Structure 1
Amino acid sequence: MSTLTTKDEDIAAKRLSSANLAPIALNLIAFTLAIGFWWGITAAKLVVLPGPAEVFQRAIELIASGQLPLDIASSLRRVLTGFLLGVAAAIPVGFLMGWYGPVRALIEPYIQFFRMVPPLAIIPLAIVTMGIDEAPKVFVIFLASFLSCVVATYQGVISVDRTLISAARVLGANDGVLFHRVIIPASIPFILVGVRIGLGSAWATVVAAELIAAQSGLGFRMQQAQLYYDLPTIFVSLVTIGILGLLMDRIVQATERRLTRWQERAR
């Protein structure tokens, strides 16, 4: 009997391993196809763009000169600072808006107002009022991340099944226990969706901010390359932003899977 159980466990482990490897294999296939398509259209002169080999060679040169690592470090520092501050502020504000009606009535109009104003439109005002140092760049990233995450958190709180709340009340749960055991777990999927959206907004905002006022960063490097029609450098920056954003998004997805193991998922 124990032998049969062990065999069953081995089979289940192999199936789980295969299921985990399948998406990775498909991702690699998609990546290879994209590189092949890119190489094909540039080799056939269908578009005036640098090919993969040329961009890769330029990336090696930028890494060797130290420019690319410096730009990555500058952009990452700005994104992570603004993004983490925005998420840290959005989660408690979203919970307060979702749980307390008066707080929602006071705050929601401002949230909706600023959501209609693109963070990129605030960059000139931020530069005029805060100068051209790091503060305006971090602020607009903070704003973009905050607005994305606060709405998702608020939506998560108001979407909690009222039956669960009533059941917890009947069992004697106070507000603290209710928040800890019911509201927060049920809201986590919504919060992490907001975090992923905020992460994308943070990268879009930092590139725009660096295009206007910066001395380093991936957006700054693209602006400098544009002046000299240096397409390979522009492509290196674009690809680097995409890779960094993808890696950070995968980290958020892994966190989401870990925190929402209880949630049934579509395969």
Structure 2
Amino acid sequence: MLRAIAAPGTGRRAGTRGHWTGPALNLAAVAAGLGAWAALAAAGVSGLPGPRAVAVRAGELIADGTLLDDTVASLRRVLTGFVLGSALAVPVGFLMGWYPVARALIEPYVQFFRTIPPLAIIPLAILLMGIGETPKVFVIFLAAFLSCVIATLQGVVSVDNTLINAARVLGAGDAVVFRRVVVPASAPFILVGMRVGLGAAWATLVAAELIAAQQGLGYRMQQAQIYYELATIFVGLITIGVLGLVMDRLLLAAEHRLTGWQERR
């Protein structure tokens, strides 16, 4: 009896320790990574620039406005492609999951294009869409769409039939079942698919900005490669990583808010 009473308190204390331990471990991991990076740079590994040199270069790029302009250009492309891809993937995924006929008609095309890397479509995009912003956004859109549509489809087909049948027994029609049962049950899958799609969008960005771009983090890194400016390349890599991490954390926060009903470990 005493053990049973003590257990909840013990669990709360453990959870509190875990709450504080997570950020502390994150900071420790970052510090360790910076230390290892500085040690490798000090050892002269392949001309690797150290954290200080990269910070100095970042300050220079910030001071002349280059980093801000490149960041804004890349963010605009990623957000446009990601939002358009996700916005189309969700209804298409629902359509495929809810209607077998739609799934039979659409899924072969989805699976076909999933086997083709979005980067391989760049030459075709240039020929069909020119060298403006459209082909850059299109390849990012495609990467986000293909990641999210499969997750949405899986979410719909994974809904427990018992829940659907129970709703029908209570008199719910198709529209109510879809809105009150299928959509909430699919939300975790959709949000995971969006997070995967966001990663795919950033991964496609650098290659997309090779299409006659004059601004962007990928463009700046490619220019730095020509002149062997390793510090500039590191600034671009770190900026992309930080932006991607922040956007992923925002999606994760939305996931926790929208799926608070779901049990978690």
Q: Scaled by the length of structure 1, what TM-score is found?
A: 0.92
Indicate the residue corresponding to 2:186 in structure 1.
187
- Take 2:234 and 2:250, find their aligned partners in 1: how far apart are those partners? 24
Q: Runs in 1 of length 4+ with deviation above 6 angstroms?
A: 14-17
Q: Is the CA contact 2:131–2:211 (under 8 Å) kept in the aligned structure 1?
A: no
* Map of 1:246 onto structure 2: 245
Question: What does 1:101-140 correspond to in 2, within 5 Å?
Answer: 101-140=100-139
Q: Where do 5+ consecutive residues of structure 1 fail to align?
A: 1-11
Please give the per-residue CA displacement for 1:206-250, whole angstroms capped at 9, x wherever unaligned: 111113420000000001111111100001000100000000000
CA apart distance, 1:46: 3.3
Deviations 1:48-97 (A, max 9, x none): 21000000000000000100000000000000001000000000000000
- State how far apart, in whole Å, the 2-side matches of 1:262 and 1:101 are: 29
State the alpha-carbon separation in 2 of the partners of residues 69 and 18 from structure 1: 39
SS of the residue 1:211 aligns to: coil
After TM superposition, give the deviation of residue 41 of structure 1 in Å: 1.0
Cα distance in 1 for partners of 2:45, 2:235 equals 20
Q: What's the % identity of the aligned pairs?
A: 66
Rounded to whole Å, the distance in 2 between the matches of 1:146 and 1:135 is: 16
CA–CA distance in structure 2, aligned partners of residues 64 and 227 of structure 1: 23
Once the 2 structures are TM-superposed, how far is the Cα of residue 179 of structure 1 from its aligned partner?
1.1
- State the distance in 2 between where 1:128 and 1:25 align: 51
SS at 2:181 equivalent: helix
Give the match for residue 173 of structure 1: 172
Question: Superposition RMSD on alpha carbons, in Å?
Answer: 1.8
Greater shift after overlay, 86-95 or 15-24?
15-24
Which residue number in structure 2 is paired with residue 8 of structure 1? none
Kept in 2, the 8 Å contact 1:41–1:47? The answer is no
SS in 2 for 1:33: helix
Q: Please tell me whether the aligned partners of residues 136 and 211 of structure 2 are also in contact (alpha carbons under 8 angstroms).
A: no
Structure 1: distance between partners of 2:137 and 2:211: 14
- The C-alpha deviation readout for 1:74-128, integer Å capped at 9, x for no partner, is 0000000010000000000000000000000110000000001100000111111
Distance 1:239 1:247 in 2: 12
The CA distance in 1 between the partners of 2:262 and 2:47, in whole Å, is 48
Are the aligned partners of 1:151 and 1:194 in contact in 2 as well (CA < 8 Å)?
yes
Matches within 5 A, 1:23-172: 23-172=22-171
Specify the alignment match of 2:5 in structure 1. none
Residue of structure 1 equivalent to 2:218: 219
Structure 2 length-normalised TM: 0.93
- What is the CA–CA distance in structure 1 between the aligned matches of 2:44 and 2:110, rounded to whole Å? 48
1:15 positional shift: 7.8
Matches of 1:126 and 1:138 in 2, distance apart? 10
